[in-house]
Amino acid sequence: MGSQGLEVSAQGLGCMGMSAFYGAPKPEPDMIKLIHHAINSGITFLDTSDIYGPKTNEILLRKALKGGMRDKVELATKFGIREVNGAREYCGDPAYVRSACEASLERLGVDCIDLYYQHRIDNRLPIEITLDSCAYVSTQGSPSYESYACTHQIGTFDVSFHADKDPLRIPLTLNYSLKFRALF
């Protein structure tokens, strides 16, 4: 994936629906079994976010990745959406990026996140400020692979300013529904 050496299975496991958004959270033991089944079937990329649950999805992954399972996967989580007074807002300011990363590390029960990326773009500040924050977090040992990324906002983020440095650092996650055969 990208140009930094991160190698993952062709198919990954997005864990959002286990804890949020598609009905009630699923029974934890069932979701842990599902995660183990995916890993034992060759899936090596697990994707979550601090907003899933919120926060409970990362805790679910911590429980599922015990007993050596963590060593078998590359773990991705996202930042950029937070709850403030019951409303969601997009945030990319430096203090938030650092605190969100630290909180995710704790919830996931890991020393290092393999891929840490921005869920939504904070249009209140230049994207370079958020990118600098990601670079700072990377120098502190997590993530293993820097990700100057945006997801779900295809068409609204001009990445050309960074293309001269590393054009493959922008992973995109599409909200494609197999059920509805459409992008969300």
Q: 3 lies in a domain?
A: no
Residue 7 CA to residue 140 CA, distance in Å, equals 22
Q: 4 lies in a domain?
A: no
Q: 6 lies in a domain?
A: no
User: Domain total for the chain?
Assistant: 1
The pLDDT tens digits of the residues spanning 118-138 come to 888 888 988 778 877 776 676
Domain that holds residue 60: 13-183
Which residues lie below 8 Å from residue 126, measured CB to CB, with a gap of 6+? none
Per-residue pLDDT of the chain (184 residues; tens, 9 = 90+): 555 566 777 888 999 999 988 888 999 999 999 999 999 999 999 999 999 988 999 999 999 999 999 999 989 888 889 988 989 999 989 889 888 988 998 999 998 888 888 888 888 988 778 877 776 676 665 555 444 443 334 333 344 344 444 433 444 455 555 555 555 5
**75: CATH:** 3.20.20.100
Q: CA dist 14 to 63, 133, 136, 141, Å?
A: 16, 25, 26, 24
Residues assigned a catalytic role: 52
Q: 75 lies in a domain?
A: yes
